[in-house]
Amino acid sequence: MSLPFTLLIDPVSVDSERISFDDTFHEMDSAAPALRVGELSAQRGDGIFETLSVVNGHPQEVEPHIARLRDSAEICDLPVPNPAQWRAAIAYAVARLPQQGELALKFVLSRGVESGPAPTAWLHATRAADFGAVRATGVRVVTLDRGYPRGVAERAPWLLMGAKTLSYAINMAALREATRRGADDTIFVTTDGYVMEGPTSSVIVRIDGVYVTPAPNGAILHGTTQQSLFEYLRAQGVPVEYRDVTLSELREADASWLVSSVRLAVSVTTLDGAPMRTDFAVSNEFNSYLLGRTDN
Amino acid sequence: MSLPFTLLIDPVSVDSERISFDDTFHEMDSAAPALRVGELSAQRGDGIFETLSVVNGHPQEVEPHIARLRDSAEICDLPVPNPAQWRAAIAYAVARLPQQGELALKFVLSRGVESGPAPTAWLHATRAADFGAVRATGVRVVTLDRGYPRGVAERAPWLLMGAKTLSYAINMAALREATRRGADDTIFVTTDGYVMEGPTSSVIVRIDGVYVTPAPNGAILHGTTQQSLFEYLRAQGVPVEYRDVTLSELREADASWLVSSVRLAVSVTTLDGAPMRTDFAVSNEFNSYLLGRTDN
């Protein structure tokens, strides 16, 4: 099967609590139109998604991605996805994808066509960009104010901060702003100076030998790759911690990484133009571990 | 031509500064797929839009809507739309739409297919809901914290606050939160207590006889319907003003309205459950004026 690969899933029964899909999946020509313009994904960015990596035929962290899709659905008042059906759809797609190399497999649950009967769901796989170089050399990062003070997520759940919605225009704008400033990526900070996350990644900081990530207290996404790395570190007896991280702690860190499902772990080499301490040996170890996962 | 009506516009030349479209438009069956799943509108809410009203064959406020689309394009680093071509597309659509009744005509400029050559553009017309009752009786409104302090838009342009992007998941969530609280609509306020806008409307408040709307200083959209009403009021010598409005000023106002392109002007009858002063005579006058516009 050539890439990109597209699979539409037809919902057969939906109520406000739960969505079930047809067991048959519809492979589409990715170059052909698949969505109506009345789609709320396209009109309103109104839906949720996950992107997982498929490495040499092995989909990575399927269960954490499905779990987060369910969390996102709940936050967004979407019918809660049936894990068994998403598992089946992912397996169906992966069986038809190239069994060599790194792929990105996105799965989407949109609120559907406006005034329509049901959500829309699809999977879309593409060849991953070649991230070999950036894994080896790291990224230059700028910090950008996310506009929100710490604690707003709990007070204002309608801001959907813990959900991975399709409304990513700000995330994309933040990456363009990084480029404009001569950098490669962005770390969002709260208006009061706390580290949040990247537009498409989680932040891990090593402080006095402890691997720390900002607590996913509703204001940021709970990163599937970050969780995977914390499991790996814990298994080796290395201390890990979820807690608030200030911008000055980030600047002074022993080392820091942006981690995400497809690009995996990349070292932060500069922050707002200033050099950062790095540990490329650990970056390499992280990526070897991440690329070697075959248990799901 | 039956509704919904869908028109795709093919870009023929794009550079980073400017987009030009094919002069021929492609009418689509609205029930048929028109967009690829690789569309950044559907994947990332990455694009901009406008919705104008067509009343008995007359499109309303075409130029302000096109002007705002251009502003949004600039804020979002999209190629700037060519006004003549959007004017032509709108005229083409309107000539084919029912000449009676109220319609909503949405026009969209998406960043296009991921890694694709050009933005995607379309128009989509639907019959407007019957807003007769709500124009006559008003709406119950809740205020919701938008999470942002006043002034953040100037400091953080990557938040795209002055652009009408397709990333509307929060706006939609705020309307669901209103419903959950037994209300009909929402007014967003800053974390420090200033009135912003509704999720799909502008706010006009009458304070001591002066019609006031929050200054569109980059943190809110400059409402096309609000501008039209200010022109109307000015022409009659009624004082209007753009300035900051606090939540307590809103609560104490002589009267207040949510105004938008298709629903037009609706009185705010309760705010967070407390009754508000209303002036339905003015609401009726506003809507008579708005429905009678035939000059564009």
More confident residue, A12 or B105: B105
Chain A nearest C-alpha distance from B9 (Å): 13
**Interchain proximity A166–B169, CB inside 8 Å:** yes
Please state at what angle helix A62-75 crosses helix A224-235, rounded to 10 degrees. 130
| Least confident among A14-28, A130-144, A205-219, B23-37 | A14-28
Shortest CB distance from B158 goes to which of A114, A174, A191? A174
pLDDT digits (tens, 9 = 90+) for B110-137: 999 888 878 889 999 999 999 999 999 9
Q: Are B230 and A191 a contacting pair, CB within 8 Å? A: no
Long-range contacts of A269-276 (CB under 8 A, 24+ apart): A269/A137, A269/A138, A269/A139, A269/A140, A269/A141, A270/A140, A270/A141, A270/A183, A271/A141, A271/A142, A271/A143, A271/A187, A272/A141, A272/A142, A272/A143, A273/A182, A276/A251
- Chain B residues in contact with A37 by the CB 8 A cut-off are 6, 28, 30, 34-35, 108, 122, 124
Which residue on chain A is closest to B30 by alpha carbon?
A36
Q: Are A159 and A152 in contact (CB under 8 A)?
A: yes
Kindly give the interhelix angle for B62-75 and B224-235, rounded to the nearest 10 degrees: 130
Q: Which of B49-53, B200-204, B214-218, B276-280 has the lowest mean pLDDT?
A: B214-218
Q: Own/partner pairs for A113-116, CB < 8 Å, 24+ apart? A: A113/A36, A113/A38, A113/A39, A113/A40, A114/A38, A114/A39, A114/A40, A114/A43, A114/B126, A115/A38, A116/A38
Cα distance between residue A119 and residue A47, in whole Å: 9
**Segment B139-165, tens digit of pLDDT:** 999 999 999 999 999 999 999 999 999
The pLDDT value given to residue A25: 79
The pLDDT value given to residue A21: 64
Distance (Å, whole) CA B213 – CA B216: 8
pLDDT above 60 for A193: yes
Which residue in chain B is spatially nearest to A49 when comparing CA positions? B43
pLDDT, residue A26, reads 81
Which residues from chain A sit within 8 angstroms of residue B39, using beta carbons? 35, 42
State the CB neighbour count (10 A cutoff) for residue A1. 11
Question: Per residue in A60-77, is it b (16+ CB within 10 Å) or e — as a string?
Answer: bbbebbbbbbbbbbebbe
- What distance separates the 2 farthest-apart alpha carbons in chain B? 54
> For residue B165, which residues of chain A lie inside 8 Å, CB to CB?
45, 169
Does the beta-carbon distance from A37 to B177 stay under 8 Å?
no
Residue A83 has pLDDT above 60, yes or no: yes
Nearest CA in chain A to B186: A158
Please check whether residue A103 is in contact with residue A126, taking contact to mean a CB–CB distance below 8 angstroms: yes
Q: What share of chain B is helix, strand, coil (3-state, %, to 5)?
A: 30, 35, 35
For the cut 80, the answer to whether the pLDDT of residue B263 exceeds it is yes
Q: Do the Cβ atoms of A43 and B108 come within 8 Å?
A: yes
Quote the pLDDT of residue B19: 59
In the numeric block, the tokens 């949040």 are attached to A196
- Token pair listed for A168: 């990513």
Per-residue b/e over A159-175, b at no fewer than 16 CB within 10 Å?
A: bbbbbbbbbbbbbbbbb
Arithmetic mean of pLDDT, A89-114: 93
Q: Which of B76, B167, B181, B187 to mutate to test the interface with A (most CBs of A within 10 A)?
A: B167
Q: What domains lie within chain A, and their CATH numbers?
A: 5-127 (3.30.470.10), 133-291 (3.20.10.10)
| pLDDT-based confidence at residue A278 (cuts at 50, 70, 90) | very high
Can you tell me the distance from the alpha carbon of B40 to that of A81, in angstroms, rounded to the nearest whole number?
Answer: 23
Element holding A290 (H helix, E strand): helix A280-291
- How many angstroms separate the CA of residue B211 from the nearest CA in chain A? 30
Closest CB to B155: pick one of A39, A44, A145.
A145
Q: Is the CB of A35 less than 8 angstroms away from the CB of B32? A: no
Helices marked H in chain B — which ranges? 40-44, 62-75, 83-96, 132-137, 152-155, 169-180, 224-235, 247-251, 280-292
Residues of A in contact with B76 (CB under 8 A): 169, 173
Closest CB from B34, B111, B166 relative to A43: B166
pLDDT for B114: 86
| Chain B positions in Cβ-Cβ contact with residue A198 (cut-off 8 Å) | none
Contacts of B114 in chain A (CB under 8 A): 126
Tell me which residue has tokens 């950098």.
Answer: A183
Query: Which backbone phi and psi does A211 adopt, to 5 degrees?
Result: -85, 120
Burial A123-133 (b: 16+ CB within 10 A, else e): bbbbebeebee
Instruction: Return the residue in A26, A28, A29, A37 with the most chain B beta carbons within 10 A, the one to mutate for interface testing.
Output: A37
Whether residues B174 and A155 touch (CB distance < 8 A) is answered with no
**Residues B161, B255, B282: CA angle, nearest 5 degrees:** 105
CA angle, A18 then A19 then A22, to 5°: 150
Residue A178 vs residues A135, A182, B242, B291: alpha-carbon distances, Å: 18, 6, 34, 45
Percentage with pLDDT > 90 across chain A = 79
Sequence-ordered list of residues with C-beta below 8 angstroms from that of B147, at least 6 positions apart, any chain = A147, A148, A149, A152, A156, A159, B191
Each residue of B78-100: pLDDT tens digit? 988 888 889 989 999 999 999 99
Shortest alpha-carbon distance between residue B184 and chain A (Å): 15
- CB under 8 A, 24+ apart: contacts of A287-290: A287/A135, A289/A229, A289/A232, A290/A60, A290/A225, A290/A228, A290/A229, A290/A264, A290/A265
